[in-house]
Amino acid sequence: MSVEVLTILMFIALMASIALGHPLAVTLAAVATVFGLIDNGFDVSALLGLFANNAWGIFLNYTLVAIPLFIFMAQILDRSKVSEGLFDALYQVLGGLRGGLGMAVIVVSTVFAATTGIIGASVVAMGLMAGPALLRRGYNRGLGAGIICASGTLGILIPPSIMLVVYGGLTGQKETSVGNLFAAAIMPGLLLSALYLLYVGVRCYINPEMGPPIPKEDRTATVAEKVAMTMKNFVPPFGLILTVMGTILAGIATPTEAAALGCIGALILAMATRKLDWDVISQSCIATARTTAMIMALFVGGKFFSVVFLSMGGGDVVADVLLGMDVSPYVVFIIMMAVVFVMGMFIDWAAILLVVVPIFTPIALDLDFNPLWFAMMVCINLQTSFLTPPFGYALFYFKGVAPPEYTMGDVYRGIIPFVAIQVIGLATLIFFPEIITWLPGVFFGN
């Protein structure tokens, strides 16, 4: 059987298995096993040896130790309700503006994203806090759902992001180290947050019924009280952000060491808010173990898939097709981005990274794209996977905790403008790549 036929059949088998609802980690490993045996003439011992060597290489990757640490930090912060005080403060500060409450949700989600990196925690927390508040204040249900879902997904991009840790662990290259990826993701994350704020502000200014201001009688705090509330609730999480990101960017600590510092900082914040008890610690540890096990299982299954795919020559087939096209390199780039976007509608982000990074990264290098810029474009693109139907996780996270007045129709309608904004953000970064590369250049001289 030719390599071309095996390549096509391998992807068909993967898509079919996912469509049938099988677990991703098992699917990746099973498809890799079947096609690995076909390719090597059913030499079981050779395939097992290949799998064992690659699995052991994953477990020896020191960078991946940051994953459970960042997850534990996020779990502690989620259970200690650090974001609630900041939301209450911004509720008073921005509530008088048209769309002000929605903009407060975006600001809080941006800060929360910089302290967690877990989408489920961000969307659920904001859904519980802001979902009823937006409804009470007469916000359009679609707009409210879109604001919470879209701003909640910033956690997958703004450091400390688990996705960036996984990407850095996959490539093992200096250009796309976790530190460089963290530095590169800050400006794009803030750009998307600013675009969300601009969209909500302009839309509600034009049509106040979409997001009416809070009545004056409900905004009783004085200016001094508003400043005090904001500083009191902003300084602690911002201090944690500086602890984690500052030590990485200053070269004081590795991402793994900074994650450990973040865990200590999260525990201190939980103690300061008197939310730290044995139940919080035990539940955080259990959730961390489950999430880490899921990610590592995907890592192993994805590694099996990519090593079989590349060893049988599938990567060369894809590269020959894309590089053999007599078109601009940016046309090839757009094709790769479109593949990632469509896969994001059906597959978990981790599985997409594990499949496409080993295939697309060599092609990007052959086309002379900056590897850091390309990596960030893939990661920003993957943020849309949490919003795009039919399997946008953020949509279901929100619907699971939102008041019953929010229908799935409201949620689907609400996220369309924000997906468009993410595409606009991607286009902006194509024309202005310095938005990605500037900070890594400042801190690491890239």
Q: Is the peptide bond between 208 and the residue preceding it cis, with omega within 30 degrees of 0?
A: no
Q: What is the mean pLDDT of the chain?
A: 85
- Number of domains making up the chain: 1
* 202: Cβ contacts below 8 Å, ≥ 6 apart: none
Q: What was the pLDDT predicted at 220?
A: 67
Q: What was the pLDDT predicted at 307?
A: 87
Q: What was the pLDDT predicted at 202?
A: 94
- Its pTM stands at 0.84
Containing domain of residue 319, as a range?
3-444
Q: What was the pLDDT predicted at 83?
A: 66
Q: What was the pLDDT predicted at 417?
A: 95
Q: What was the pLDDT predicted at 155?
A: 83
Query: Pick the residue with more confidence: 299 or 221?
Result: 299
Tell whether the model's pLDDT for residue 354 goes beyond 80: yes
10 Å CB burial of residue 131 (0-12, 13-18, 19+) is: buried
Cα 226 from Cα 232, distance rounded (Å): 10
Amino acid at site 31: V
Confidence of residue 162 (pLDDT cuts 50, 70, 90): confident
For the packed helices 178-206 and 408-431, what is the interaxial angle rounded to 10 degrees?
A: 120
| DSSP 3-state percent helix, strand, coil across the chain (nearest 5) | 80, 0, 20
Tell whether the model's pLDDT for residue 132 goes beyond 80: yes
pLDDT tens string 113-129: 887 666 766 787 788 87
Percent of the chain with pLDDT over 70: 96
Q: How many of the other CB atoms lie within 10 Å of CB of 149?
A: 31
pLDDT tens string 387-446: 887 777 788 788 887 888 888 888 889 999 999 999 999 999 999 999 999 999 888 775
Q: How many of the other CB atoms lie within 10 Å of CB of 427?
A: 10
* 227: Cβ contacts below 8 Å, ≥ 6 apart: none
Which SS3 state, helix, strand or coil, does residue 157 take?
coil
Q: What was the pLDDT predicted at 416?
A: 93
Confidence of residue 331 (pLDDT cuts 50, 70, 90): very high
10 Å CB burial of residue 222 (0-12, 13-18, 19+) is: exposed
Confidence of residue 1 (pLDDT cuts 50, 70, 90): low
10 Å CB burial of residue 304 (0-12, 13-18, 19+) is: buried
Q: Name the most confidently modeled range: 158-162, 203-207, 232-236, 312-316.
A: 203-207
Q: What was the pLDDT predicted at 372?
A: 94
Total residue count of the chain as it appears in this document: 446
